A and B are shown apart, each in its own frame.
Chain A
Amino acid sequence: MNIFYKINNLSFKAQKYVFFLFIIVFSIGIVEALVLSPADYKQSDSVRIMYVHVPSAWTSVGIFSVIAILSLGNLIFKNKYFLTIAKSLAPSGLIFNIIALVTGAIWGRPTWGTWWAWDARITSMLVLCIFYILYILSWRVFENKESVNKITSVISILGLINLPIIKFSVEWWTTLHQPASITLSGSSIHSSMLLPLFIMTAAFVLFSVLIFLMKYNTELIKIKNKGLDRI
């Protein structure tokens, strides 16, 4: 059986299970983040913003990477399912990007004394947000299937160039934003703060999976609606 048919069948069944799993993980994450985790010795309780800011930034960058890879895959293999999956991932990616920008601004006020700075990390995240908006708008604006496939693929592949800039901006330029605290070689964050951070990341990933499944099912029913017209 084709793998995409398996995904189609699974997507309908998985939706409610993912929803309940998300509620459980998110509830644990919220309690950990707001009550159980300690305050930072320098930033005090404002550090708790990290538990929504960092996972949303990670998820948003991760989703765009997947969208770009799928778009590249579509250009090479000409498979319509790649684009349907990519299109279904975009809304949650955009929301996480907006959450990262807004919570970053809120965190910036008590930490840096300003809501916004044209800092390399913040600006590159704003550029990513623009790419997300362009990507989603293209699906709405262009009606010709061939054109929309090409345009959305080009936007996501161009946006891919921005991802290493986001990642390394804090090393390449002098920025207000702090360098990465979690790297492949280790973490400078204490385990009492790492645990809620990872739980919240898991919850955010589950939420994006839930939205993806709902959007993918919508797209699938849309395609099948057109199929019913032809029967």
Chain B
Amino acid sequence: MTIEIISMNGYGLYVWSSFIFTLTSFFALYHVIKIQLKKEQEKFKAKYFDLTEEKTESVKKQKTYKEILAFTNISKI
């Protein structure tokens, strides 16, 4: 059974390389986009912590900022 799945009636090389290429591409794209997202989150965090208390309060009131704060797990104590 296992050998049959691996050999795929002699087409194993073609079938497996197609699926491995697809999986590798998925993983690479996911990884690249995740790095970009993390980078922007870190920038956001750094800028947010630099804000004065007054500015922080005004940021917290805005809906989209609220979502980003929740998403990036930022809590400024």
Contacts and interface: CB of A to CB of B under 8 A. Distances in A.
A103 B22 contact: yes
A3 interface: no
Nearest to B7: A45
The secondary-structure label for the interface of chain A is helix
A98 B11 contact: no
Nearest to A44: B9
Interface stretch (A138-146, A147-155, A191-199, A212-220): A212-220
Contacts, number: 116
A5 B33 CA distance: 22
Contacts of A221: 37, 40-41, 43-44, 68, 72
A106 B40 CA distance: 38
Interface in A1-55: 5, 8-9, 12-13, 30, 33-35, 39, 44-46, 48-49, 52-53
Interface residues of B, number: 40
A56 B25 CA distance: 12
B51 A231 contact: yes
Given A45-B11, A48-B8, A95 B18 contact: no
21 contacts: A8-B67, A9-B63, A12-B68, A34-B5, A44-B9, A44-B10, A45-B12, A46-B15, A48-B18, A49-B15, A52-B22, A91-B29, A91-B32, A98-B25, A103-B21, A106-B17, A109-B14, A110-B11, A215-B33, A225-B47, A231-B55
